């Protein structure tokens, strides 16, 4: 299938690569051209100088960019995807963005007989590099069923949650859970250290029961060692939590702890942790 991919960041670069390896004809666009050139060379694909040119003969166009404004620019801009994608095509947005921008873009696309899916990712950089991402999708079922086999190239699980915007909302649910889990784990490990406990033994004892979590299994060791130079960056987590908090002001959800943790992440940024992994919440407890 002819596809295009806009946004070759740490996620998009390997994802577009998996599309090429799956046999699709892939044209990429990236704001920094050098990266697109490197990608085109590595995966023997094509590149374009604007998202619109990349999309001009594609059946499905993927975007994976930074935030709401980037989504608007790359999809709705003058040289954007929607200006050029052939009628009947599909735009899949893998960016974690607001449900509002998802609905806005979907409406504009519908006006041109183009399908739209909001399809934020979880699984992080490692998931993208291993082609094992989890994708939460909002959109209609027909569009979903057409795009799903293509996304299979880089996913281990793809779930249609509901109508447009619900992929983004599901991602927010995910991030709210993580905020609570990581802060609890951070306070617990900080407590364990201050009480001079044998941390590996404590984790051994509690890691199979009611306190268990993915974060405990995969992050306790680096957290206990104050290693944060990897993973999903604090600045991206703050962007996501900001979207969730903004949304909660509309739907009336009470995100009291989430707001507290968002403030803690701001403190981590002040410690120099803008690019640290999300698990770095423990850093502010150790000062």
Question: Which of 34, 210, 225, 249 lies at the binding interface for a copy of itself (CB under 8 A)?
Answer: 210
Annotated catalytic residue: which of 35, 53, 112, 171? 171
Residue 177 touches a copy of itself, criterion: CB under 8 A: yes
What distances in angstroms separate CA 223 from CA 2, 200, 252, one per listed residue?
Answer: 44, 12, 34
CA dist., res. 43 & res. 147, Å (int): 21
Beta bridge partners of 63: 6, 93
CB of 270 to a copy of itself, least distance (A): 16
Residue 76 touches a copy of itself, criterion: CB under 8 A: no
Question: Which of 247, 268, 276, 280 lies at the binding interface for a copy of itself (CB under 8 A)?
Answer: 247
Taking alpha carbons only, the member of 23, 11, 7, 44 closest to residue 131 is 11
Residue 103 touches a copy of itself, criterion: CB under 8 A: no
**Which residue in this structure is represented by tokens 């991402």?**
133
Catalytic site residue 171? yes
Stretch that binds a copy of itself, among 35-43, 90-98, 140-148, 256-264 (CB under 8 A): 256-264
**Which residue in this structure is represented by tokens 């992440």?**
265
What distances in angstroms separate CA 86 from CA 30, 81, 101, 167, 225, one per listed residue?
Answer: 20, 10, 22, 24, 52
CA dist., res. 155 & res. 214, Å (int): 19
Q: Site mask, a copy of itself, residues 110-149, x = CB under 8 A?
A: ------------xxx---------xxx-------------
In the structure encoding, which two tokens stand for residue 180, read together?
């609570």
Question: Which of 113, 194, 221, 229 lies at the binding interface for a copy of itself (CB under 8 A)?
Answer: 194
Which residues of the shown chain bind a copy of itself in the complex (CB under 8 A)?
99, 122-124, 134-136, 157, 159-162, 166, 169-170, 172-185, 187-192, 194-195, 197-198, 201-202, 204-206, 208-216, 218, 232, 244, 247-248, 251-258, 260-261, 285
């Amino acid at each position: 299938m002819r596809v295009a991919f806009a946004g070759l960041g740490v996620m998009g670069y390997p994802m577009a690569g998996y599309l090429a390896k799956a046999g699709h004809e892939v044209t990429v666009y990236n704001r920094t051209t050098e990266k697109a050139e490197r990608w085109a060379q590595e995966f023997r694909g094509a590149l374009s100088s604007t998202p619109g040119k990349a999309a001009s003969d594609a059946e499905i166009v993927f975007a994976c960019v930074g935030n709401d404004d980037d989504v608007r620019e790359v999809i709705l801009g003058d040289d954007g995807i929607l200006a050029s994608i052939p009628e009947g095509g599909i735009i899949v947005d893998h960016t974690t963005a607001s449900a509002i921008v998802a609905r806005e873009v979907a409406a504009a696309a519908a006006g041109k007989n183009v399908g739209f899916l909001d399809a934020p990712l979880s699984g992080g950089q490692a998931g993208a590099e291993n082609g094992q991402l989890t994708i939460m999708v909002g959109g209609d079922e027909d569009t979903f069923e057409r795009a799903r086999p293509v996304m299979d190239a880089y996913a281990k699980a793809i779930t249609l949650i509901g109508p447009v915007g619900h992929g983004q909302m599901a991602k927010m649910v995910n991030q709210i859970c993580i905020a609570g889990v990581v802060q609890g784990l951070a306070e617990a490990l900080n407590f364990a250290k201050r009480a001079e406990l044998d941390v590996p033994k404590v984790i051994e004892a509690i890691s199979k029961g009611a306190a268990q979590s993915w974060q405990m299994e995969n992050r306790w060791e680096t957290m206990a060692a104050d290693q944060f130079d990897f993973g999903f960056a604090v600045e991206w987590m703050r962007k996501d939590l900001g979207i969730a908090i903004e949304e909660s002001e509309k739907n009336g959800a009470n995100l009291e702890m989430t707001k507290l943790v968002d403030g803690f992440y701001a403190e981590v940024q002040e410690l120099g942790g803008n690019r640290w992994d999300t698990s770095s919440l423990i850093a502010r407890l150790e000062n």
